[in-house]
Amino acid sequence: METPFAEPSALVAYLGSTLSLDRAAMLLAHASDIIRGVARQQLHLVEDDTVTLDPLGQVVLLPELPVLAVSSVDVLVNGMWSPFAGRWVWSATGTVRAVPSHWWPTTPRSVRVTYDHGYDPIPSDLATVCVSLAARLAVNPVHLQQQTVGGVQVRFAPSAAGEGGVLDDVEQAIVDRYSVAGVA
């Protein structure tokens, strides 16, 4: 299980309840997983992650952001991986580019990159979204919009994200800032 984006004590304090720390940790883990899925990013710091990629000409797009370091680039030549003999440059926005006159193969899955990416600590706005979402999961775990018991009817605030949406518009905008558009 991945590390949640917030501490259980933060959720207990937010709810002002007697929620157990174990239950708070579970709810935060679920909320963090939902955020990761929406963002299509791991988000936590990962060191020495190795990915095999399809080059787009002399560029490869790394799947996780922000990129903090690139330690190696290997290429597949004649069925064998070897360090890329040419020069390359990388950016925090996820591109690794072969420097002109230093070309790598352009066949699918022919470039392998080892790199560090993510956040340590998790940005506070993502932690806040995590606590807010975990609180909703605690209070309304099945995303009810309305419930009637006998003569009493309770209407929960509808999701601003639409029918069945998990994040409201503000939360979605925050998570979108950490998402990689077009990478699924």
pLDDT, the chain, mean: 89
pLDDT of residue 86: 86
- Percentage, residues of the chain above pLDDT 70: 88
Backbone angles phi, psi at 8, to 5 degrees: -55, -35
pLDDT of residue 71: 97
pLDDT tens string 37-66: 999 999 999 999 999 999 999 999 999 999
Domains of the chain: 8-42+122-165 (no CATH), 46-117 (2.60.40)
The whole-model pTM stands at 0.83
> Which residues is 98 bridged to in the sheet?
88
Question: What size, in residues, is the chain?
Answer: 184
> ∠155-37-164 over CA atoms, to 5°?
20
Q: Average of pLDDT values for 97-104?
A: 89
What whole-number distance in Å separates Cα of residue 170 and Cα of residue 7?
A: 22
